[in-house]
Amino acid sequence: MDDLTGKVALVTGASGGIGSAIARLLHSRGASVALAGTREDRLAAVAADLGNERTAPAIGDLSTADGATAVAKAAEEAFGPIDILVNNAGRTRDNLAMRLKDDDFLDILNVNLMSAFRLSRHVMRSMMKRRWGRIVNISSVVAFHGNPGQANYSASKAGLVGMSRSLAAELAVRGITVNCVAPGFIKSDMTDSLTDEQREKILGTIPAGRLGEPDEVAEAVAFLCRSGAGYMTGQTLHVNGGMIMP
| Bridge-based pairing state of the strands 8-11 and 55-59 | unpaired
Predicted pLDDT at 7? 97
- Collapsing DSSP states into helix, strand and coil, what is residue 27? helix
Higher pLDDT, 40 or 83: 83
Checking if the pLDDT of 1 tops 80, the result is: no
What average pLDDT does the chain have? 94
- Rounded to an integer, what distance in angstroms lies between the CA atom of residue 15 and that of residue 88? 10
Which helix (H) or strand (E) covers residue 178, if one does?
A: strand 176-183
- Rounded to an integer, what distance in angstroms lies between the CA atom of residue 129 and that of residue 132? 8
Predicted pLDDT at 96? 92
Predicted pLDDT at 230? 97
Active-site residues, by number, are 153
Predicted pLDDT at 189? 73
Average pLDDT over residues 130-159: 95
Checking if the pLDDT of 55 tops 80, the result is: yes
Average pLDDT over residues 230-235: 98
Predicted pLDDT at 198? 83
Predicted pLDDT at 2? 72
Question: To 10 degrees, the CA torsion angle through 21, 26, 32, 38?
Answer: -30
- Rounded to an integer, what distance in angstroms lies between the CA atom of residue 200 and that of residue 156? 27
Q: Which residue in 244, 37, 22 sits closest to 136, CA to CA?
A: 22
What pairs with residue 202 in β-bridges? Answer: none
Percentage of residues in the chain having pLDDT higher than 70: 99
- Rounded to an integer, what distance in angstroms lies between the CA atom of residue 201 and that of residue 191? 12
- Rounded to an integer, what distance in angstroms lies between the CA atom of residue 234 and that of residue 246? 15
Predicted pLDDT at 239? 98
- Amino acid at site 201: K
Predicted pLDDT at 6? 95
Average pLDDT over residues 238-243: 97
Quick: pLDDT tens for 167-214: 999 999 999 999 999 999 999 876 777 788 888 988 999 999 999 999
20 contacts 3 by C-beta, under 8 angstroms: no
